[in-house]
Amino acid sequence: MSEKIGFIGLGIMGSPMAKNLINAGFEVCAYDIIEKNLDHVVDSGAKKACCPKEVSENSDIIIIMVQNSPQSEKAILGDEGALEGASKGDLIIDMSSISPLVSQKISKECLKSGVSFLDAPVSGGEPGAIEGTLAIMTGGSSSDFERSKPVFDVLGGSSVLCGEVGAGNFTKLANQMIVGANIHILAEALTLTTKAGLDPETVFNAIKGGLAGSNVMNTKAPMMYERNFKPGFRIELHLKDITNAMETANEMQIPLQVTSNLHQVLKSLVLDGKGVDDHSGILKFVEKQSGVEVKK
């Protein structure tokens, strides 16, 4: 592979993504604030860096995969951040799910140094990161998007240029709003039918082929009635995304009634100690309110 890749952020998503790039033949220089995460990827063939600046000094395309807006700003714009070590013509791709307004702020700073920027958040969770089947939603120029395609083709099953910088994260917020609302109403539906004496698995099988059917239902309904809340995507992370949606909507002066309610549900679950559960655990909020337990 001709372009050298930098990877900053080697958590539950970033680690398998970096490994997929290494396995595809890319030369990867990596960094994470947690030493064991970094060592794990270095053992797979990555070059070890001591800070984001060193990553970008040794890379042409720098990928950021961190938790939220403050972490992205620090990794890119902070002291010894990626922008300090980047050269004119380099490309920074922030694949974190953050505020689209922050993405636009970061992009403006990068452009001052002649560094290109894409925001490219993903959907698919840890399984998608491991399998290389993530859905990648991108904001930026068409030329930068085309340059990134060899990387995206390794990391994802699909990649779409949604518009200018910020469009990727606006699209990701839309995705998270829809997914969260679907899980919440699915939980209410299974709770209602369980209370009525029906088997939730039978209800799921009866309706999944109709208009109510969805990828969300196919994935999350079995987790609910099998009481499997092992995280593929944690409630606390979904809360982060919906908080970003609410803050962005407030800045844009747009009322979001369903999203606002979802925000309160997720926040309640986190305060109740359920933040590390899979977001199918929204069911637990509904069950607590109703006094009904959904199970086969």
In the chain, which ranges are continuous DSSP H helix?
Answer: 14-23, 35-42, 52-57, 69-77, 82-85, 100-112, 125-131, 142-155, 167-195, 200-207, 215-225, 235-252, 257-271, 282-290
Three-state secondary structure string covering 142-209: HHHHHHHHHHHHHHEEEEEEEECCCHHHHHHHHHHHHHHHHHHHHHHHHHHHHHCCCCHHHHHHHHCC
Letter for the amino acid at 252? M
Write b or e for each residue in 242-251: b if 16 or more Cβ atoms lie within 10 A of its Cβ, otherwise e: bebbbebbee
Question: Which tokens in the block code for residue 3?
Answer: 């372009």
Q: Which amino acid is it at 122?
A: V
Query: d(Cα 10, Cα 169) in Å, to the nearest integer?
Result: 20
3-state secondary structure of 267: helix
- Which residue shows structure tokens 């970003």? 244
Residue from 172, 220, 240, 274 carrying the catalytic annotation: 172
Q: Would you call 172 a catalytic residue per the annotation?
A: yes
State which H helix or E strand residue 228 sits in: none
Residue 102 near residue 134, CB atoms below 8 Å = no
**Tokens at 140, concatenated:** 């930026």
Residue 237 one-letter amino acid: L
Q: Which residues are catalytic?
A: 172
